[in-house]
Each structure stands twice: as structure tokens, then as C-alpha cells.
Structure 1
Amino acid sequence: MPNRRILSLWFPRLGAERLLRMERGTFDAPLAVLRDTGQMQVISSMNAQAEAEGLTLDQPLRDAQAVCPQLIARLQNPQAEAAFLKVLRRWAGKFSPWVAEAPPDGLVIDLTGCTHLFGGEQGLLTQVAQDCGDLGLTVRAGVADTLGAAWALARFASQPGAMVHRSGDDIQQEARATRSRAVKRRHWTRGGTPPLVAAGIADVGRIAPAGQTHSALADLPVAGLRLEGDTQAELARLGLRRIGDLTGQPRAALARRFGKGLVLRLDQALGSAPEPVSPAAVEPTFAVRMTLPEPIGLEDDVWAAIDRLLPPLCERLRKKGKGARVVRLQVFRTDQTMQGIEVGLARASDDPDRLRPLLRMKLDDIDAGFGIDMLRLEVLRLETLHARHTAGHLEARQAAARRVSDAHVIDDLVGRIGARIGLEQITRRHPGASHIPEKAAQTQHAAWSEPWREDWPKPMVARPLLMWRPEPVMAPDTPRLPERFRWRGRDMVATGAAGPERIAPEWWLDEPDWRSGVRDYWRVSCASGEKLWLYFAHGGTMSAGWFCQGSFA
């Protein structure tokens, strides 16, 4: 079996170059992507021009604008950058099927047994550099026997013309050294990002020969071990700045002083501890598209195209045993713009007839513009569909079929109403497992819950039709039901009463409304014709008294 070889790809300008790809020709100036820390905005990524102006990562925006007044700043979009990294992961699948993401700006690839397809490891790096150059991306790579070593080589290895570590040992490098440059030098030796110089195709990365991981890592800073910032700072105070300074130290002493994390990272980088590459699971994509020879703009033409796209999409779902919950329709116009609409179902389905009416309701929101030349239908949210088998005599099968049909009718109704007002606005009631009156029923979203198919549990004593938060009643503070009381500014006269029904609070929960202790509930008929639900609170952490909580029909 060939020796294990790992490739680590690092995209140091991922955030900025993603924006440059989206808006080609727009940014002809230094560009910085900002991360909001809550107290200030700092630079999380920048293009080559901003770096040439002397800006650094994690630099506050005000300091950066003082150094470079013409700086263009954009806020970071972590979700978009993560999605872009997933796209790059699919691209890296051409080199090996074993590809994993190393968030937020890297990939890890297991090259074992694959390098001969590209003319060896150097030929593969050349292909990586050429592809990234075509994509407009800056990349640094490292190849080694372990994941940790490859990660460190990609980010901290010295390579002439690619990434230069200014150590201060070369007198030609520091002949014109200044105080600010010395600070930057100390920054990366303590774990910061080393300065980058534009890399060519030939020197895109560093390759550690098989079996020479120790010598390849010896001169790299301890930041290449992926340590915590506090651990790096403590190592720097002790003069342990290079990985080679740690390899000769007793492991037991290192573990006692810095914890097991340092020893584990060191062993993983050197190959003493295993660190597998876990490839990301392939996400199933269910989408169909139609490219039109001539642009269309009529609603009937768009509907005809959708009607042809739905059957093959649902057939793919049916073969995989999946159902669609959210579907998006994208229309691409001739002026290179796109518009999308989304519809949601109350229950996952692979039936085209249940999707057609929902999409039909949304067609009015589509603006054809100068014409539509492509349509794409994609399932955004999937659920597994479980096959239902009916058994028994003929009447049982027919009853089961009727129940399934009725359920589909309700689900379709919820889906149609949800397309207008939103699925989150439609709710249903389920019984609750509590003897507290206001918790006897719970509200659930209709689209994400099953209807209650059993008999609704009935309380021993009737409950009011309308129920509200307890309202104070002006009456003597005695458990005996008063004949006259005042409620909502009105004088009420009791003509009849039934009760009491004693309800105790749930002692294992702290309910603010039930801090008044045990309650005695009464159904009181008033001379005005109202039938109220009164209770007397015996008092707990709150004072005793009479309250009104509901009204009977």
C-alpha cells in the first residue's frame, strides 16, 4: 500500500476574491472584507493591492483607512463564503475523491494513489495553481505525510518567491528595517499570519518528501500546530518559537505545562497520532432545467415549461424515496439577470399534481423582462417518504384510503394558504399533558405537525370557551364566594354558582402566574347574563384574592 500523502490548500484571500469574481472590473483599488466583532470592524480578508499598501489581517477599519484612504470596504458574508468553499470542494474532487473542508478558508485532500494521474505531486500542484489562476484565486499548498504537517506547510513554509518569512537573519532583508516592520515580524512568529508575496505557478506550495516530516516542520513556527492563542503566547515567552524546539522536549513535561492539546497536535503533525481526512458527505441535489432556443415572455409559455419540468423532477424524487417540502423556481432572463420564487408544502410529496397549483399561484410574481431563455426547478428541502401499506378486508382498505385522501386535502389546503400568507402563520391545536387550564392545549405549526387523530381528552369539569390572563376582582379576601363583586369597572351580582374545583400549581416548575398558590375555581352565573370563571387564590409568594380568568358561552 502506498504511503499516505495529504494535500492542504489554503486560500488566504478567499473573501475578497469571491467579491472580485462576482463584480469583475468593479474594484480597481484596495479592497478589504470586514468582520464585525461587536466592538469594531476588523479586516478578515483583502486583495493583493490592499496588502501592498501595508494593511494586515485583524487590523481595525479606522487604522486601515488612515494607512490607505482609498480603501474599499465590504462587510463579510460568512454564509456566502462557506457556500463558495463548498463549490471549491467540488472542484477539488478532480484530484481525489477524498476531499474535506477546512473552514473557513481551506481544503484537505487525501492524494494517496492519485498523484500519478497528474505527473506526480509537483505536476498536481502545477495543475492546482493553473486552475486557481483561471478562477482568479490565490492559493498556497502543502503536501506531506500527515494532515497537520500539510496544513502547516501550506500556511507557514518558506518557499522562494511564494511565501517569504522575514526572520531577520538575512542582513539583506533587514538592511532598511524599521520599527513597524519589526513589529510585523514578531507578529507572525507568535502565531499571526505571515506576509504573502505573489506566488507563481511553479512555486505555489511546498512538498515534504515522504518520511521527512520532522525536518520539514522543524523550522516552522509553533502556530503551524493549530494551537490556541494563549498557548502560542506562553510558548513564545519561554523562547519556544519553532516546532523543532518542541520535538526535543519531554512529552510529559509539555503535557503538564501546556495540557494534552499541545502534545496531541504535535503527535498528529509528526504522524505519531492518527488524524484521518473525513470527506464531506455528498449532498443530494434534485434539480432540472430547460434551456430555450428562443426567449419567452408569456405566462402560458412559462407554465408549459414548468409542466414539462415537474414530471422528471418528481420521478427522481420517487426513485430515491424522497419528498419535496420547499421548491424554488428560477427564471434566467436574456439580460443576464435571474428571478426566483419559492413554494412550500405542508407535507413532503413527490406528486407533480400537488406542486402545480402552488407554482401556478406564484407565476404572477415573475417579471419576464426582455425574455426568459432558461428555467430551473430545484428542491431546496427534502424529507424521506415512508411507503404506506394497507392490509385487511375491503372496508378497512377503503377506510385507510379515505383517511390518506383526506390528509392530502388538508395538506394541500395548508400549502395553498401558506403560499399566500406563509406557512408559519397557520397553526393547529393539540392537547397538552398538564392539569393547568391554560396549558391543557398547545399551539403547533400546521405544516410541521400531524393532526390529532384521537378523541380530544375531556376534563372532569367544564372549561370556559374564552380564557385570558387572570384579571383582579374586587371582593372580600375570603374563600367564600361573594354575592356581589366588581370586575372590569362593573358591579356584578351572582345568581348561581357551581364549584369549587381545586387546582394546585406544578411545584416542579416556576410559573409566575401561579405564585399565588392553590386556586379554587367557580362557575358563576351573573344577573347580567354572563357566566364567568372565577377563582380564589389562597396565596403563596403573592397575596390572596379573587380573580376572573374566563367566560363560558
Structure 2
Amino acid sequence: MRRVVCVFLPTWPTDLWRRRHGGPPPDEPLVAAAQEGPRRVLSAVDRAARGLGLRPGLALVQAQAMVPGLTVIEADPEGDAAALTRLAAWCLAYAPLVAPDPPDGIWIDVAGAAHLHGGEAALLASLRRRLGRAGYRVRAALADTPGAAWAAARCLAPETVLPEGRQRDHLLDLPLWSLRLDRDTVSGLAQLGLTRVAHLLDQPRGPLRLRFGEEPTRRLDQALGHAPEPLAYLVPPVAHAVRLAFPEPIGAPETLARVTGRLAAMLADTLARHGLGARRLDLVFRRVDGLDQSVSVGTARPSRDPRHLARLLAERLSTVDPGHGLDEARLAAPSVERLEARQLAAPGGEPDPDAMAELVDRLVLRLGPGRVYRKAPVESEWPERAVRRVAPLSPAGGVTWPADLPRPGRLLPVPEPVAVLAALPDAPPTVFTWRGTRRRVARADGPERIFGEWWLTDDEVSACRDYYRVEDETGARYWLFRDSLTKDGARWWLHGLGEA
């Protein structure tokens, strides 16, 4: 299934000029002007100028009369287009299939690559956040087709993800210009009372083609996914890439797996000659109808083992739609690191670190990048602050947990309140109720007193916890604590389960 992101930069020329020259502040209007016949007209306006009623196409003298002291720059469409292409090349960090959409857009086909960024919504949020920090006003949408993504980016929320197969439902109420129709066609359709996409769906196609040509129905079919729309993707200058062309189109899953294995072996040889290992792989298949299909995978550490790389790519081949056949395949390693040759471990010796890296790669591919990690100690008195998540293969630091302080096998993210009965106010609990279940304590050990970290916040100057390890009559173990005494007495909490 194709999944395309449309990045819309509504004020690209003025944002670009501000980024290069430091221009007026964002709340002051800025416009670009160009010569159009005998007069000069506005070619681009920023958000502040649009709020004052200025629009592209307006005569410059009229704009200056409406907004005295207006800042005007010379339009540079060639420079803007070149900068857009460079920005599109930067977007290759998100997926291998990227195409500029002049004058103010970029296409990114993220099918097979969104999982590397935490999913489609996380990818879209990251893209908008990073471009926004660079000073660009951005709207972005993700859909099954370029046409649907283009319309959603301009007519729906600034950050929109259309569910797979549901673009029709979201396009029905949009204006006809969202189908990328020219102004004359939209005006002519409006004279017939056709102003929404839904109106066009109900019309017979023959009369529409006779009066307006093929464009309205073609754009409608492309937006709904009924007609193909190839994009002119950038070909990145990747130093480490291999390619296979096929005399006859291929499409069977087992054939794709064999081709992937051959490409992985060819790329591994190239990497070995340069002493490198891949950290990211982009596999692109070209269909006979011109629609590219891509798969991207990442590795936890540099690797050039062809079997491992082929296995990772094979996990994602199910996302490739061969259509009527594939006639070319390219495998590239856009991200590489040094990987020197090393002595293989002897049988029964130390664990092979590459085997662990391969396991991590497979788990990340199946579960997602944010779900595979390890816990590392942090120097903190407070138990919930004494642990943090780190990358699964990150090197061990110099901090360790104290061996003489027993901790539970599972620490709850947030302590949960419990009702406790104790023989004395400062004695261990004899009975406690947690999540509606009453548990009688058979054994208890404690207290272990932990004071708040007063150097972090004033609220912890007087904070104090008394922790108890308790075991109920069934043998289950819990980690309870009593917080600081107040006028209403102390409160009890359950913080951990099991025994480390």
C-alpha cells in the first residue's frame, strides 16, 4: 500500500528569505514582487501580509497603498526552486522516495519506512517540528495517494493522517480546487453548480470530458487511487549502492526474496572493501508503470553480514505491491559507519556481540524502535528516578545499583495508594488492600528510610519515605512505603512487585 506525505510550505519564498537574511520580524508583513508585463505584482506574501488583505497577483502599488512601509523583496523563483530541491534532499532522512513539488511542496513516500520513526503520526510530527524550528511555516498530511495528501495538507488540519483506504470519505466535502484543477476549470464547474468533490463524483463523465477535457476526471481518479500518479523522485548521491535490472518483470514473493538476498550480498562486498557497516538500508523496486516501491530498515550497530541484512529486508517485503511487475531493484546504504574486521569467537567462548545486535534488529523491526530498550542506573535516592531507558546496545556506564539495597523485580511507573492496617503507627503493615483485594501480610522487613532530594526542589525538603518489603500468605512479595506524616496521618503506597 502506497503512503505519501505531502509537505506544504504556504509561505516558502518569504520564509526562505527571512532564514537567509534575518528579515523583518514575523509580525511585520513581507512580500515578494515580480514583473508581469508592464506592471509589478505580488508573487508571494507571508502570513502577516495575508492578514492585512494582501494576496499574490495584487499590484505592488496597490499593496503599498494598503500597507504603508511594506517590506518588498525581489522574487527569485529559480532560487526558490533550487532551495526546495535541497530541502527535499534533506527529507531523504525520513524515506528513500522523495520528490519536490514546486513551487511550495514536497512529496515523501513513507510506505515501508514509517516504522523507523515511530509510526506515521510520529514521523509527521517530527517533520513539522524540525521544519518549524528552522523557521518555516509547514502543513503536512499523509494519505494513500499524492492527490489526497495534497488536498488534506491544504484543506484539513495542519497535521493530518488519513487512515488507509479512507481518503474518499475525507475528500467529499473539500472544494474542487483541492483536486489541483486550474482556476478556469474550477470557475467553469462552479457555473454548473459543481463546487465540491462530491458533486463531481455524481456527474456522468462523458459530458464532463467534452466540456472540460480529461483533467477533472484524471485528477479525481488519481486522488481516489483509481489511476496511477508516478512522481519524479530524487536520486540521492549514495556512494554505497547496488542495482539489478530484470529482462522480464518479476513479482512473486519468493523471487523478491531471492533478489533481496543477491543485492544484500553485493552491497556487503562493497562495504567490506571500504571497511564499513550499514546502519540504514533503503531497498527500492521500480514498477513497470513507473511507481516506485520502497523498504527501509535500520540496524542497532554497523553490519555487513549479507544474511542478516537480507533477513531484515525480507521482514518488510510484504509491504511491496508489485502491481504488473517490477523491472529494477536498487539497494543503498545511506548511513554507514566504520566496521573493521575482527576475529570470530571460538565455540563456547564469549558471546558474539554481532548475534545480539542481530537479535535487537529483528525485535526492533517487529515491535517498533521505542519498545526495545534496556534499563540503566541513575544516581538518585528516589527509586523512580534511579532508572532510565537507554538504547539496547549502548555501552555500560560507570554507575551501578547498590548491591546491599534489595529492590523489587518490577517497579510501578507511579506508586498506587493502598489501605493498610498496622499494630502501631510506625510498625510494618499486617493487612493491606490493593486494587480492591485484601492481602494479609505473613512476613515483613523494614523500614528503609529514603529522604527527598532537597537540592532539586523545595517540595522535597521535608519529604521522607519508609519502605517495607512484605510477603503475603500466598508467597507474593510487594514493596510498600509510608510517606511523611501529616495532620491526617501517613499515607501508604505500593511501589513495586516481586523480589529482585
Separation in structure 1 between the aligned mates of residue 298 and residue 76 of structure 2, nearest angstrom: 48
Relative distance call for 1:351 and 1:54 in structure 2 (3 A) is same
CA contact (8 A) 1:325 1:381 kept: yes
Structure 1 window deviating more from structure 2 (334-343 vs 463-472): it is 463-472
The alpha-carbon deviation at position 377 of structure 1 amounts to 0.8
Q: Which has the higher contact order (CA 8 A, sep 6+)?
A: 2
Aligned residue for 1:298? 252
> Which structure has the bigger radius of gyration?
1
For 2:62, the aligned partner's letter is S
| Identical columns (%) | 27
Task: Give the corresponding residue for 1:109.
Answer: none
Q: 1:324 aligns with which of 278, 286, 296?
A: 278
Q: Which residue of 2 aligns with 1:340?
A: 294
* 2:445 aligned residue (484, 498, 509): 498
Q: CA deviation at 1:65?
A: 8.4
Q: Map 1:130-149 onto structure 2 (within 5 A).
A: none
Cα deviation, residue 409, structure 1: 2.1
User: Which of 386, 393, 411 is equivalent to 1:467?
Assistant: 411
Q: What is the DSSP-based 3-state SS (H/G/I as helix, E as strand, rest coil) of the residue aligned with 1:348? A: strand
Say yes or no: does 1:478 pair with 2:360.
no
Deviation of 1:193 (Å): 0.8
Distance across 2 between alignment mates of 1:536 and 1:61: 60
CA distance in 1, matches of 2:67, 2:432: 82
Alpha-carbon offset, residue 324 of structure 1: 0.7
Distance in 1 (alpha carbons) for counterparts of 2:437 and 2:244: 70
In structure 2, the residue corresponding to 1:521 is in which secondary structure?
A: strand
Is there any run of 5+ residues in structure 2 with no aligned partner, and where? 1-5, 16-25, 79-235
Relative to the length of structure 1, the TM-score reads 0.47
Distance in 2 between residues matched to 1:453 and 1:461, nearest whole Å: 20
- Residue correspondence of structure 1 range 446-461 to structure 2 within 5 A: 446=392, 449-450=394-395, 457=401, 459-461=403-405
| Cα deviation, residue 483, structure 1 | 4.1
Work out the CA distance in 1 between the residues paired with 2:37 and 2:43: 9
The CA deviation string for residues 461-493 of structure 1, in whole angstroms up to 9 with x for no partner, is 432233323324345793333545555455554
Cα-to-partner distance string for 1:69-92 (whole Å, 9 max, x where unaligned): 9xxxxxxxxxxxxxxxxxxxxxxx
Instruction: Tell me how far 1:197 sits from its aligned partner.
Output: 11
Could you list the runs of 5+ residues in structure 1 that have no partner in the other structure? 1-21, 23-30, 70-176, 199-281, 391-396
Cα distance change of structure 1 residues 403 and 455 upon mapping to structure 2, 3 Å threshold: farther
**Are the structure 2 counterparts of residues 515 and 491 from structure 1 closer, same or farther at C-alpha, using a change threshold of 3 Å?**
farther
How far residue 361 of structure 1 moved from its aligned partner, in angstroms, is 2.4
Q: Which amino acid aligns with 1:496?
A: R
Q: State which of 326, 337, 343 in structure 2 corresponds to 1:383.
A: 337
Structure 1's 330 and 486: CA in aligned 2 closer, same or farther, altered over 3 A?
Answer: closer
TM-score for both structures, normalised by structure 2: 0.51
Residue-pair matches, total: 321
Name the structure 2 match of 1:413: 359
Closer, same or farther: CA 52–356 of 1 in aligned 2, 3 Å: farther
Residues 285 and 506 (structure 1), Cα distance of their counterparts in 2 relative to 1, 3 Å cut:
farther
Q: 1:316 to 1:482 in 2, by over 3 A?
A: closer
User: What do you get for the CA RMSD once the two structures are aligned?
Assistant: 4.9
How far residue 411 of structure 1 moved from its aligned partner, in angstroms, is 1.9
Q: 1:498 to 1:305 in 2, by over 3 A?
A: closer
Deviations 1:260-309 (A, max 9, x none): xxxxxxxxxxxxxxxxxxxxxx9863212223333333334434433333
Check whether the contact 2:33–2:72 (CA below 8 A) recurs between aligned residues.
Answer: no
Cα distance in structure 1, aligned partners of 2:77 and 2:375: 64
- Cα pair distance change 1:508/1:414, threshold 3 Å: same
SS at structure 2 position matched to 1:57: strand
Q: Which amino acid aligns with 1:497?
A: A
| Cα 1:551–1:357 shift into 2, 3 Å | closer
Q: How far has the Cα of 1:331 moved from its partner?
A: 0.8
Match of 1:374 in 2: 328
- 1:120 alignment partner in structure 2: none
Partners of 1:523 and 1:504 lie apart in 2 by 18
Q: Distance in 1 between matches of 2:309 and 2:328?
A: 20
1:355, CA displacement in angstroms? Answer: 0.7
Residue pair 1:533, 1:551 contacting (<8 A) in 2 also = yes
CA distance in 2, matches of 1:310, 1:68: 53
The worse-fitting range, judged by mean Cα deviation, of 363-372 and 522-531 is 522-531
Would the aligned equivalents of 1:290 and 1:374 in 2 still touch at CA under 8 Å? yes
CA 299–65 in structure 1, closer or farther in 2 if over 3 Å, else same: farther
| Cα distance, 1:372 vs structure 2 | 1.7
Distance 1:354 1:492, change over 3 A: closer
How far off its partner does 1:353 sit? 2.0
Cα separation, partners in 2 of 1:365 and 1:485, compared to 1, 3 Å: closer
Amino acid at match of 1:34: T
